[in-house]
Structure 1
Amino acid sequence: MRVLFAGTPAVAVPSLDALIEAGFDVVAVLTRPDAPLGRKRILTPSPVAARAAELGIEIIHAAKVDAEVTARIAAVAPDVAAIVAYGGLIPRAALEVPRHGWVNLHFSLLPAWRGAAPVQRAVIAGDDVTGAVTFRLEEGLDTGPVFGTLTETVHPGDTAGALLERLSHSGAALLAQTLSAIDAGKSVALPQQGDVSLAPKLSLEDGRLDWRQPALAIGRRARGVTPEPGAWTMLEGQRIKLEPVLPAPEASALPPGQLALDGKRVVVGTGSHPVELTRIQPAGKKMMAAADWARGQATLESVVFE
């Protein structure tokens, strides 16, 4: 079966590899254009584009699937299109090109967390279980009928990045299985059932920690925004980046945002019990252990995160 693969970030690469390993004829890859990265803003191919180049697969770079891009997709004559985190909408004209349509691998248990940041939102919300589904792509936002489902436990220390890494591999196998069933004429897509929740893309502001919230909520948010957009707070008018915090219920109570030493640990007050800081990146400096940063503060007890 001839497959068009659409994807952009590193999380989509395992799916591309899984389709190749399963013997599908991946005739082209649709991915976002090269983007400037790093301090020098060097134009860099997407992880999917880089992998496709290694595999010798034709690459269609497109920020938007317009009539010209749709014609290029039609020219490679795919039987089906597989899409994993491409990062753009697929219009009706393109949806109608492959005879078996488009199959989307989505990292949530639809209809929960429809949108661009399902794993991040699941961690922030404190979900105990999440997963991935393959579904038939429609013009609606993640509304199509579901082919296959897998579940994944959300561990207490999971960051969004760690959870997404696991799902990218288990989901890749699910995608290959779904396309195999479609190829064999044995696929069944069932309507989504359950309560709908939305997972819009995270903004920088979503990473700001509100120390007035309970420690549990702060910990979930810090893990949910790691690695992107990252957790942060304000100190004396400057943005301070933070790695995920740890619960410290046995530490002495502190006002929200107030820092203190608890033995060798650096703790900060919340709306409930304190949390322990792990690593901190002050403005203009590298990420460092919280204890090392604390030694550079004249009086830690006078430091209050905003």
Structure 2
Amino acid sequence: MKVLFAGTPHVAVPSLDRLVADGFDVVAVLTREDAPQGRKRVLAPSPVASRAAELDLPVIKANRIDAHAIEQIALVGAEVAAIVAYGGLVPPAALEMPRHGWVNLHFSLLPAWRGAAPVQHAVINGDDLTGAATFRLEKGLDTGPVYGTLTEDIRPDDTAGALLERLAESGSVLLSQTLQGIDIGMLEPVAQTGDVSLAPKLTLEDGHITWDQPALGIRRRINGTTPEPGPWTSLDGQRFKLGAVDLLPEVEDLAPGAVRILPGRKPRVLVGTGSHAIELLQVQPAGKKMMPAADWARGLESAEGDATRKQVIFA
């Protein structure tokens, strides 16, 4: 079966690799245009574009599927379009172009978490289970009928990034199996049923940690916004980024946002919350790289003479 593959970020690359490895005729790859990367803002191709070039596949670059992009898509003669995190809307004029339509791999158990950030919202919400679904794309936001699903447990220490990596690999198999079923005429999509929840794209403010919230909710938000848009707090008026944390239910005497540094060869950094304390394991002060929280605590001790006496409050 001739396949048009549409995708942009790293999470879409496993699906492209899987379809090629499973023998599909990928006639072209649709991805977003080169974008500025790094501090120098140098234009660079998307991860999918780079991988397509390595596989010697034709590439169509478009941030919007406009009339010109539709003309290019029509020329490749695809029988189906497989789409994974392309990052743009597919207009009605393009939806019916391939004979079998557009098959979207979405990283949730639809109709739960329709939208751009399903994995992040599942982690922040404290879901125990998530998964992936393949569905036929239609005009509504992730509303199309479902071909197949898979499930994945959400582990207590899962970040959105780690969970998404697992789903990208297992989801690539689901996408391939879905296209195989469509190709032989043995698979028909079924309308979505169940409670709908929405997962809009996260903003920088979604990563702002509010310390009067319960510790478990704070850890979920930290994990759910890692790596993007990134969890952070404020220290002395500057953004202070946060990495992994542990829960410390036995410590209940710290005010929300108050920091206690336990001295020693490897200092420990505790922060009060609306319930009990958490321990910071990794931090990134303004202008620095991510580091062990113990190293940051040693720096405070060196600067202040005694880190246990310095009053540190996160906001």
RMSD, aligned α-carbons = 0.9
1:111 aligns with 2:120: no
Q: Is the 8 Å Cα contact of residues 222 and 244 (structure 2) preserved in structure 1?
A: yes
The residue that corresponds to 1:238 in the other structure is 238
The 2-side partners of 1:124 and 1:254 are apart by: 24
The residue that corresponds to 1:43 in the other structure is 43
The 1-side partners of 2:59 and 2:10 are apart by: 16
How high is the TM-score relative to the length of structure 1? 0.98
Q: What is the percentage of aligned positions where both structures have the same residue?
A: 67
The 2-side partners of 1:35 and 1:246 are apart by: 36
Shift of 1:262: 3.7
1:229 aligns with 2:238: no
1:79 aligns with 2:79: yes
Shift of 1:78: 0.4
1:304 aligns with 2:304: no
User: C-alpha deviations, 1:17-65, integer Å up to 9, x for none?
Assistant: 1100111000000000111111111111100000000001000000000
In structure 1, list runs of 5 or more residues that go unmatched: none
Shift of 1:261: 2.1
The 2-side partners of 1:251 and 1:290 are apart by: 18
Q: Is the 8 Å Cα contact of residues 107 and 118 (structure 1) preserved in structure 2?
A: yes
The 2-side partners of 1:252 and 1:133 are apart by: 42
The residue that corresponds to 2:140 in the other structure is 140
| Other structure's SS at 1:30 match | strand
Alignment of 1:171-210 (within 5 A): 171-210=171-210
Alignment of 1:115-134 (within 5 A): 115-134=115-134
Deviates more, 1:251-260 or 1:170-179: 251-260
| Other structure's SS at 1:256 match | coil
Shift of 1:248: 1.2
The residue that corresponds to 2:95 in the other structure is 95
The 2-side partners of 1:183 and 1:199 are apart by: 31
| Other structure's SS at 1:212 match | coil
Shift of 1:251: 2.7
1:278 aligns with 2:276: no
Q: Is the 8 Å Cα contact of residues 268 and 277 (structure 1) preserved in structure 2?
A: yes
The residue that corresponds to 1:259 in the other structure is 259
One-letter amino acid matched to 1:266: V
Shift of 1:252: 4.7
The 2-side partners of 1:205 and 1:252 are apart by: 27
The 1-side partners of 2:44 and 2:134 are apart by: 29
1:13 aligns with 2:13: yes
User: C-alpha deviations, 1:166-215, integer Å up to 9, x for none?
Assistant: 00000000000000000000112000010000000010110010000000
The 1-side partners of 2:245 and 2:226 are apart by: 11
In structure 2, list runs of 5 or more residues that go unmatched: none
One-letter amino acid matched to 1:13: V
The 2-side partners of 1:286 and 1:157 are apart by: 22
One-letter amino acid matched to 2:287: G
One-letter amino acid matched to 2:90: I
Q: Is the 8 Å Cα contact of residues 231 and 244 (structure 1) preserved in structure 2?
A: no
The 1-side partners of 2:116 and 2:163 are apart by: 15
The 2-side partners of 1:217 and 1:9 are apart by: 28
Q: Is the 8 Å Cα contact of residues 240 and 286 (structure 2) preserved in structure 1?
A: yes
User: After TM superposition, where is structure 1 displaced by more than 6 Å over at least 4 residues in a row?
Assistant: none
The 2-side partners of 1:145 and 1:80 are apart by: 16
One-letter amino acid matched to 1:223: N
User: C-alpha deviations, 1:286-305, integer Å up to 9, x for none?
Assistant: 11111111122224550000
The 1-side partners of 2:242 and 2:262 are apart by: 18
Deviates more, 1:84-93 or 1:257-266: 257-266
Q: Is the 8 Å Cα contact of residues 226 and 244 (structure 1) preserved in structure 2?
A: no
The 1-side partners of 2:232 and 2:33 are apart by: 29
The 2-side partners of 1:259 and 1:61 are apart by: 49
The 2-side partners of 1:197 and 1:217 are apart by: 19
One-letter amino acid matched to 1:281: Q
| Other structure's SS at 2:83 match | strand
Q: Is the 8 Å Cα contact of residues 249 and 273 (structure 1) preserved in structure 2?
A: yes
One-letter amino acid matched to 1:280: V
How high is the TM-score relative to the length of structure 2? 0.96
